Amino acid sequence: MNYLAAANYQLQRAVSTGAEFGALNPLLLSKLNHYVAHAEVQMDQIRRRVLNEEVIPHSEKVFSIFQPHTEWISKGKAGVPVELGLKVCVIEDQYRFILHHQVMEKATDSDIAVSIIEAAKKRFPNLQAISYDKGFHTPMNQIELKKHLEKVVLPKKGKLSKIDKAHESEPEFRKLRRQHSAVESAINALEVHGLDICLDHGIKGFKRYVAFAVLARNIHRFGVLLSHQDAKRHRGAYKKAA
C-alpha cells in the first residue's frame, strides 16, 4: 500500500505539471501523457495481482514500456527457457539464401505456416517444397499447404499412426527433414549480421532492422559463393598451367 501511495503521489505531480506547463511544449506533454497512462496500467495491475490476488491475463501484461511490441517468448530450451523480444520466421532455400521472412506479432508458428508460404510463392512461383518443424503443425495446415506445394514436410505432433509413421519414413521426407536443420545456421548468421540486439525503436524500426539483417545475410552469402567460384577458377588455371 505504501508503494502504491508513493507511486500515486508522483503520478499526480506529473499530471499537474503537465496541466500547468504542457501548453509550452505539446510534444513533451504527449510523451508525458503516454507514460502517465503506462503508470496507471502498472499500478492497477499491482493492485489486482498483489492486493486482490488476481491472475493477470497474459494479453494484458506489458513487458517493455519503451518497446511495447515486446513479447514473452517461451523457448522451452535448457538454459534459456524464456526470452523477451519478437519472433521472426525465415524461409531459406537450398543455396542458403533467405527467400522470405515474417515478423510474428502475437502469432504462433502454426498461425503463420500457410500465410508465409503464400507470400513467398508470390515472389518465387517455382517454390515447390517446404520443411517445417512440429511447431507449425495443425491438421488444417497440412491440408492448406498441400494446395500450394508439391511436397510438404510437416511432422505431426504426438503419437503417430502407422500411416503417418510410414509417410515420415519415406526417403524424400527424411531427406528434406535433414535439410531443415541447416536453417539454424541462417538464424545464427542473422544474429551475427546485426539481429542479436535490435538498436532501432518501435515496431516499424524493428521490422526495418530485421529486413536489413536479412539483406546483409544474403549479400554475405552471395559473396561467399563468388569467392568459392573465384578460388575454383584459380585452381583450374593452376592445374592447366602445370
pLDDT tens digits, 197-239: 788 888 999 999 999 989 988 998 999 899 988 888 777 655 5
**Strand duo 151-153 + 129-131: pairing:** parallel
The CA distance from 70 to 117, in Å, is 25
Angle at alpha carbon of residue 58, lines to 57 and 61, rounded to 5°: 95
Burial 164-186, CB ≥16 within 10 A → b, else e: eeeeeeeeebeebbeeeeebeeb
Q: Has residue 76 got a pLDDT over 70? A: no
Going by pLDDT thresholds of 50, 70 and 90, the confidence category of residue 148 is: very high
pLDDT digits (tens, 9 = 90+) for 46-68: 999 988 999 988 888 888 888 88
Going by pLDDT thresholds of 50, 70 and 90, the confidence category of residue 182 is: low
> Which pLDDT does position 240 carry in this prediction?
55
Helix, strand, coil shares of the chain as percentages rounded to 5?
60, 15, 25
The CA distance from 136 to 110, in Å, is 4
> Which pLDDT does position 157 carry in this prediction?
81
Strand residues in 132-239 grouped as ranges (E):
151-153
Could you tell me which residues are beta bridge partners of residue 100? 91
What percentage of the chain carries pLDDT values higher than 90? 28
C-alpha cell at 8: 500515486
Please give the mean pLDDT across all residues of the chain: 85
> Which pLDDT does position 168 carry in this prediction?
77
C-alpha cell at 61: 501484461
The set of residues, in sequence order, having a beta carbon less than 8 Å from that of 238 and lying 6+ positions away, is: none
Q: How far is CA 53 from the centre of its chain?
A: 33
Burial 55-72, CB ≥16 within 10 A → b, else e: eeeeeeeeeeeebebbbe
CB 156, CB 138: distance < 8 Å: no
pLDDT digits (tens, 9 = 90+) for 102-143: 999 989 899 999 999 999 999 999 999 888 888 899 989 999
The CA distance from 156 to 136, in Å, is 9
First vs last Cα of the chain: how many Å apart?
87
pTM listed for this prediction: 0.76
What percentage of the chain carries pLDDT values higher than 70? 93
> Which pLDDT does position 236 carry in this prediction?
65
The CA distance from 156 to 25, in Å, is 58
Count of H-run helices and E-run strands, the chain: 8, 6
Going by pLDDT thresholds of 50, 70 and 90, the confidence category of residue 21 is: confident
> Which pLDDT does position 126 carry in this prediction?
92
**Strand duo 87-92 + 80-85: pairing:** unpaired
Q: Has residue 242 got a pLDDT over 60? A: no
The set of residues, in sequence order, having a beta carbon less than 8 Å from that of 172 and lying 6+ positions away, is: 151
